[in-house]
Amino acid sequence: MRKAAVIMGSTSDLPIAEKAIQTLKEYGIETEVRVLSAHRCPNEAREFASSARESGFSCIIALAGMAAHLAGAMAANTTLPVIGVPCSGAKLDGMDALLSTVQMPSGIPVATVAVDGAKNAAILAVQIMAVTDAELAAKLQKARDEGTAAVLKADAEVRERYKN
Ligand code: RP5
């Protein structure tokens, strides 16, 4: 199933969320985008997570800043994989959100990416879907190959420029 959810705690997270939305689009993943705060609308957030599997989602990407409990709250209410994106922007530069998202107690995992790492969250979501989808797996491999080619090209240019 090629369907993912991108949930953010506030519209102030949208500039970061857009990196995930764009990447999912590039891979042709149907994406539902929501603003659902774990503390401002906990009932709606819980309802979304508890019905996500029967709604056909393969995974949930949850972005939040500060005391970032959104990804954990999602994970508490579904057995779908939840990918957490700690968002910066507050006083502690994302360290608060990083620790809140990554330090889940045993039994309720959140796969946490880097602070503001929304693109990686989307790629990880695609990788999860690609376990049973050869076409997606091939697209992922193509992107890896392009990344390798770009670095090797840069290497050749740098060696040429600085050769003795
Ligand atoms: C979190 O608090 C949101 O995810 C956001 O990153 C942060 C600030 O939210 P706003 O006050 O901008 O709505 O819940």
- Asked if 32 and 112 sit in the same domain, the reply is yes
Q: Contact at 8 Å (CB) between 13 and 87?
A: yes
- Asked if 19 and 44 sit in the same domain, the reply is yes
120 class by beta-carbon count within 10 Å (0-12 exposed, 13-18 middle, 19+ buried):
middle
Counting ligand 1 atoms within 8 A of each CB, the residue from 6, 8, 10, 40 with the most, and so the one to mutate, is 10
Distance between CA 145 and CA 140 in Å, rounded? 9
pTM of the predicted model as reported, rounded to 2 decimal places: 0.96
- Asked if 114 and 53 sit in the same domain, the reply is yes
What is residue 30's predicted lDDT score, i.e. its pLDDT?
A: 98
- Asked if 88 and 111 sit in the same domain, the reply is yes
- Asked if 119 and 138 sit in the same domain, the reply is no
Question: Which helix (H) or strand (E) element contains residue 30?
Answer: strand 30-35
- Asked if 41 and 120 sit in the same domain, the reply is yes
- Asked if 125 and 138 sit in the same domain, the reply is no
Average pLDDT, rounded, for the chain: 97
With a cut of 70, which residues of the chain have pLDDT below it?
none
What is residue 64's predicted lDDT score, i.e. its pLDDT?
A: 98
Domain with 163 in it: 134-164
- Asked if 26 and 66 sit in the same domain, the reply is yes
- Asked if 104 and 31 sit in the same domain, the reply is yes
The residue whose C-alpha atom lies closest to atom 10 belonging to ligand 1 is: 10
Distance between CA 123 and CA 62 in Å, rounded? 14
What CATH number did the domain enclosing 64 receive? 3.40.50.1970
What is residue 1's predicted lDDT score, i.e. its pLDDT?
A: 77
SS3 67: coil
- Asked if 63 and 10 sit in the same domain, the reply is yes
Q: Contact at 8 Å (CB) between 101 and 110?
A: yes
CA-closest candidate to residue 4, choices 55, 43, 38:
55
Sheet holding 30-35: strands in order across?
A: 30-35, 3-8, 59-65, 82-87, 111-112
- Asked if 159 and 125 sit in the same domain, the reply is no
Q: Find out whether the beta carbon of 88 lies less than 6 Å from any atom of ligand 1.
A: no
Ligand 1: distance of its center to the CA of 84 in Å?
Answer: 15
Ligand 1: distance of its center to the CA of 87 in Å?
Answer: 9
What is residue 90's predicted lDDT score, i.e. its pLDDT?
A: 84
- Asked if 64 and 35 sit in the same domain, the reply is yes
The number of folded domains in the chain is 2
Distance between CA 46 and CA 76 in Å, rounded? 8
